[in-house]
């Protein structure tokens, strides 16, 4: 079965939906999403969306905080652009129906998180992402030009490789014509042809054992682009959130937003002592890489599996009204946050690198654009400033949409694209093989490619991954496609890229910390 649309979007989080709402005024849009339309990283965002909205904040301060957090690795041009353009695009989210909390005087109630020198984070209680996702879905569902296909899994983007061109001389010669998509409702692989394609497939957290990300975050888009010979960069910069709720076995790990530390909560070791001042003068509100590493160190010194976050000294009424979801979640586990410390530990949270894009969201592949967490725009450098990712997503979705609107009419649909060929494949004999390989992958990444790295650990990870890679490729070649098998294959691909790029970096910078090269190189 073949389908033709002007704009194909893979992913229904903030990036995909924002892009969709803009291009839908000009042509036919198809959004595909691999599970329910609202099961995205976006939906779980707690703290909020960062932007300069009022004095005494300024663009200069937001730029400086972003650059400082990125540890010398941000692209200053991109930082300036995103900081300048974010307020206008957030205003658009508000016009589209998103509610952000206000104070009694009618001004926005701005929160503060690690690495920010000002209160500048717009939020909706402690479930900002849920509110943004709700508003965007409601608007997208009403648009007659937008078709949303849930439980549709993008297997691969279609390029010249599928037309039998085996030799492409340079990465920049690849063109994208659409995607092969598994309709998970009937197990048929459909061909979706498009004039422009926007990849917004989100993060990679699930390659680790402990993550704040929902199970959709397996790096599919990045792996698809890498397989198509597109440029992928900065994969070694994986951000661990310092404070996920310690509740063994819970996936995804429930986040305790950094905004709670911005509100005054303090990190303590298991014997109740404050420790962050030993690591950074900003204490519990230092940038995430520093806080996560400090917690990791304290846990290792003491043999503990968590540290505590103490909110017991804060105003009870305000605490509950600002953080109702955290309050309720902790209460469901018999933790009364107004009286008890909250056990927390770091968890894989965000990927700073990904598919390389330019200022207009274009990838190295023609007709292919990317935005949101799967993209590497240059904004975050070696460590993302908290709440900058939602702002980045709207800015790049907007910019990419404007370029796609200006070019799509001149792009013909590609002819003679073959349908997916699964001749000779059969159902995998035991699905447990896939589940087990995924678990092994998560163990490898957690034990050897975590917050603190070394050459020895990275080499071990690489060798063990090779076996998983071979076994999975062999299974993939002979098996009928399933979402779980593709996810495993993609996740292995992502792990490979992280390890490869981490091995190449002979310094410690931002989120990449290695005991073999503890200092930074000059750039």
Q: Which of 43, 120, 268, 288 is catalytic?
A: 288
Least gap, CB of 48 to ligand SIN (angstroms): 7
* Closest separation in Å from C-beta 384 to ligand FAD: 8
Could you give the CA distance from residue 197 to residue 176 in angstroms, rounded to a whole number?
8
Binding residue for ligand SIN, selected from 47, 115, 287, 450, defined by CB under 6 A: 47
Handedness of CA 387, 391, 393, 394 (dihedral sign): positive
Binding segment for ligand SIN (CB under 6 A), chosen from 63-71, 181-189, 257-265, 411-419, is 257-265
Task: List the 307-310 sheet strands across, edge first.
Answer: 238-245, 342-351, 307-310, 266-268
* Token digits of residue 114: 């690690």
* Residue 370 in the binding site for ligand SIN (CB under 6 A): no
Residue 191 interacts with ligand FAD (CB under 6 A): yes or no: no
In the block, tokens 């598919």 appear at: 355
- Among ligand FAD, ligand SIN, none, what does residue 258 contact (CB within 5–8 Å per kind)? ligand SIN
Q: Which stretch binds ligand FAD (CB under 6 A): 161-169, 296-304, 325-333, 383-391?
A: 383-391
> Rounded to whole angstroms, how far apart are CA atoms 308 and 304?
11
Q: Is 377 in the site for ligand SIN (CB under 6 A)?
A: no
Q: Is 120 in the active site?
A: no
- Choices 35-43, 302-310, 398-406, 425-433; region in contact with ligand FAD by CB under 6 A: 35-43
Question: What span, in angstroms and rounded, lies between the C-alpha atoms of 393 and 40?
Answer: 13
For residues 78-115, b (16+ Cβ closer than 10 Å) or e, as one string?
bbbbbbebbbebbeebeebebebbeeeeeebbbbbbbb
Residues 205-244: x/- map of binding to ligand FAD (CB under 6 A)? -------xx--x---xx-----------------------
Q: Token pair of 173, please? A: 């010669």
Q: Are 492 and 441 in contact (CB under 8 A)?
A: yes
Q: Which of residues 332-351 bind ligand SIN (CB under 6 A)?
A: 350
The residue from 6, 8, 9, 33 that contacts ligand FAD (CB under 6 A) is 33
Q: Which stretch binds ligand FAD (CB under 6 A): 11-19, 66-74, 426-434, 442-450?
A: 11-19
Distance CA 135, CA 369 (A): 24
Place of tokens 């993609």: 490
Q: In this chain, which of 379, 386, 449, 498 binds ligand SIN, going by CB under 6 A?
A: 386
Torsion on CA atoms 16, 22, 23, 27, rounded to nearest 10: 120
Residue 482 binds ligand FAD (CB under 6 A)? no
Binding flag, residue 178, ligand FAD (CB under 6 A): no
Token representation of residue 336: 């009364």
What does 66 bind: ligand FAD, ligand SIN, none (CB cut-off 5 to 8 Å by kind)? none
Interface of this chain with ligand FAD, residues 113 to 142, rule: CB under 6 A? 128-129
Q: What's the chain's Rg over C-alpha atoms? A: 22
Q: Which among 43, 119, 24, 131 has a CA at the least distance from the CA of 404?
A: 24
- How far apart, in whole angstroms, are the C-alpha atoms of residue 433 and residue 116? 45
Could you please report the per-residue DSSP string of 381-420? TTSPPTTHHHHHHHHHHHHHHHHHHHHGGG-PPPS-PPPP
Q: Least distance from C-beta 511 to ligand SIN, angstroms?
A: 13
Q: In what order do the strands lie in the sheet with 375-376?
A: 232-233, 354-356, 375-376
Does 258 help bind ligand SIN (rule: CB under 6 A)? yes
Q: Which of 18, 41, 46, 213 binds ligand SIN (CB under 6 A)?
A: 46
Q: Do residues 360 and 402 make contact, with C-beta atoms less than 8 angstroms apart?
A: yes
> How many Cα atoms within 13 Å fall on the side-chain side of residue 187?
7
Residue 100 contact among ligand FAD, ligand SIN, none, beta carbon within 5 to 8 Å by kind = none
Count residues binding ligand FAD (CB under 6 A). 42
Nearest residue relative to ligand SIN (C-beta): 47
Catalytic residues: 288
- Residues lying near ligand FAD in the complex (CB under 6 A) are found at 10-16, 32-35, 40-42, 44-49, 128-129, 153-154, 200-203, 212-213, 216, 220-221, 255, 350, 372-373, 387-390, 393
- Residues lying near ligand SIN in the complex (CB under 6 A) are found at 46-47, 113, 255, 257-259, 350, 386-387, 389
């Amino acid at each position: 079965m073949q389908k033709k649309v002007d704009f194909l979007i893979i992913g229904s989080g903030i990036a995909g939906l924002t892009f969709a709402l803009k291009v839908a005024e000009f042509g036919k849009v198809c959004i595909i999403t691999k599970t329910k339309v609202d099961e995205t990283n976006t939906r779980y965002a707690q703290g909020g969306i960062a932007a300069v909205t009022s004095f005494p904040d300024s663009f200069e301060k937001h730029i400086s905080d972003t650059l400082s957090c990125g540890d010398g690795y941000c692209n200053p041009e991109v930082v300036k652009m995103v900081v300048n353009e974010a307020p206008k695009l957030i205003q658009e989210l508000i016009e589209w129906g998103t509610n952000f909390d206000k104070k009694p005087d009618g001004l926005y109630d701005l929160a503060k998180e690690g690495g920010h020198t000002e209160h500048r984070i717009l939020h909706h209680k402690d479930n900002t992402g849920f509110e943004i996702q709700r508003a965007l879905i409601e608007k997208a569902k009403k648009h007659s030009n937008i078709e949303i296909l849930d439980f549709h899994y993008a297997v691969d983007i279609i390029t010249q490789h599928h037309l039998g061109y085996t030799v492409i001389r340079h990465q920049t010669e690849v063109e994208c014509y659409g995607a092969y998509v598994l309709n998970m409702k009937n197990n048929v692989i459909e061909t979706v042809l498009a004039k422009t394609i926007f990849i917004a497939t989100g993060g990679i957290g699930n390659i680790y054992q402990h993550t704040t990300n929902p199970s959709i975050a397996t790096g599919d888009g990045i792996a698809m682009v890498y397989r198509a010979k597109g440029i992928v960069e900065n994969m070694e910069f994986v951000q661990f959130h310092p404070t996920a709720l310690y509740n063994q076995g819970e996936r995804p790990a429930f986040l305790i937003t950094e905004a709670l530390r911005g509100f005054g909560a303090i990190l303590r070791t298991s014997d109740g002592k404050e420790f962050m001042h030993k690591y950074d003068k900003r204490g519990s509100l230092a940038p995430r890489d520093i806080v996560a590493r400090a917690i990791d160190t304290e846990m290792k010194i003491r043999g503990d599996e968590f540290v505590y976050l103490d909110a017991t000294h804060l105003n009870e009424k305000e605490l509950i009204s600002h953080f109702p979801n955290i309050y309720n979640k902790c209460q469901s586990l018999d933790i009364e946050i107004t009286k008890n410390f909250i056990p927390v530990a770091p968890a894989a949270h965000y990927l700073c690198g990904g598919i390389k894009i330019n200022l207009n969201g274009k990838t190295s592949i023609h007709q292919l654009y990317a935005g949101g967490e799967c993209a590497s725009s240059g904004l975050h450098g070696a460590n993302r400033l908290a709440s900058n990712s939602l702002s980045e997503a709207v800015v790049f979705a907007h910019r990419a949409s404007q370029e796609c609107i200006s070019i799509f009419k001149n792009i013909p649909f590609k002819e003679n694209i073959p349908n997916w060929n699964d001749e000779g494949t059969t159902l995998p004999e035991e699905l447990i093989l896939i589940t087990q390989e995924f678990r092994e992958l998560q163990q490898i990444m957690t034990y050897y490619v975590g917050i603190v790295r070394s050459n020895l650990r990275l080499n071990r990870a690489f060798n063990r991954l090779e076996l998983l890679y071979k076994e999975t490729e062999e299974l993939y070649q002979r098996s009928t496609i399933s979402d779980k098998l593709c996810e495993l294959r993609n996740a292995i691909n992502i792990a490979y890229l992280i390890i490869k790029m981490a091995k190449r970096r002979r310094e410690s910078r931002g989120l990449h910390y290695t005991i073999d090269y503890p200092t930074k190189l000059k750039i």
